[in-house]
Amino acid sequence: LWSQGFEHRLVIPYVGHEHAGVYCIAAANSLGQAECHCVISVIDEPADSGVEMLAASAASLDTPAARGCCTADCLVPPELLSLFRDRYCRSGEPVTLECEVAASPAPKVTWSFNGQPIDSSDRRFSVSSRGRLHRLRLARATPAESGRICLAAENDAGLATCGALLIVEDPDSGRVCSQKVIRASTKLFNRRAEKPSRDWQTTPGYSLVT
C-alpha cells in the first residue's frame, strides 16, 4: 500500500491466481463515504499476440462482478458521474441543474428545495430525466427560489446525494438574497442529510457530495 497526497496505490509485485477477485477502495470522512471497485482476472499463460491478449482479457472479465450494472441480480450503489454546483444568477434568468447517476437496479431519484420534496404540483420547477441524466429547470428564477437544492438517488445498495446553493439577485435592491436565508437553508439541509437509522460506515454506497 502506498499513499502520497491525493494519490493512493495498491501494488501486487507478482500476480498469482490467488490475487484474482474484486478489489475495492473506500474513502470516508465525517460527511460520508465513496467507493471504487475493479476486477482482477488472472490467465494461465501470456497470449502470443496483442490481439489474443485483448480477447483473453475480455473473456475473463465477462463475470457478474465485472459487468456491474449490466446484471439484474448484481446490486451496485448509486454513483454520481456528474454533479451540479452552487449557482448565482439574476432574477428572471433560466437555471438548469443536471446530475448523471449510475446504479443497479435503477435508483429512485428525488429533488428537494430547502429540505422539502419537489413534486409535479410545484410549478416553479420542471423535473425531467433521460437515461442516467436527471435535470431540474427553472424557466425564470426569482429571489424566492434562493436556497439549497438537493438530489438524492437511492436503491437497495445505497444512497448518494448532491446539493448546491442557488442565489438569485434581487432586482429591486441590486443585492443577493439575505445571507440569513442561505444559512437557514444550509442548516436545514444538514439536518435532513443526517439519517439516524443508517450507519454511514457500514452502509455500502452511502456518500454525500456538496
Question: For 19, what's the count of Cα atoms within 13 Å in the CB-facing half-sphere?
Answer: 12
Which of helix, strand or coil describes residue 71? coil
How high is the pLDDT of residue 112?
Answer: 95
Which of helix, strand or coil describes residue 47? coil
Nearest to 204 by CA among 69, 66, 64, 28: 28
Instruction: Tell whether pTM > 0.75.
Output: no
Domain boundaries, the chain: 76-169
- Looking at CATH, the fold of the domain delimited by 76-169 is given as Immunoglobulin-like (2.60.40)
Cross-strand bridge partners of residue 27: 34
Name the phi and psi angles at 83, rounded to 5: -125, 160
The answer to whether 68 and 61 have CB atoms below 8 angstroms apart is: no
| Per-residue pLDDT tens listing for the chain (210 residues) | 888 888 888 888 888 888 888 888 888 888 888 888 877 888 876 545 444 444 444 444 444 444 444 444 567 888 888 899 999 999 999 999 999 998 888 999 999 999 999 988 888 999 999 999 999 999 999 999 999 999 999 998 888 999 999 999 887 765 555 454 555 555 554 554 444 434 444 344 444 444
Strands 207-209 vs 158-170: parallel, antiparallel or unpaired: parallel
Nearest to 135 by CA among 158, 118, 147: 118
Q: Which amino acid is at 70?
A: C
- CA distance linking residue 21 with residue 9, whole number of Å: 17
Alpha helices in the chain (DSSP H): 50-60, 64-67, 179-193
- Supply 86's cell numbers: 452552487
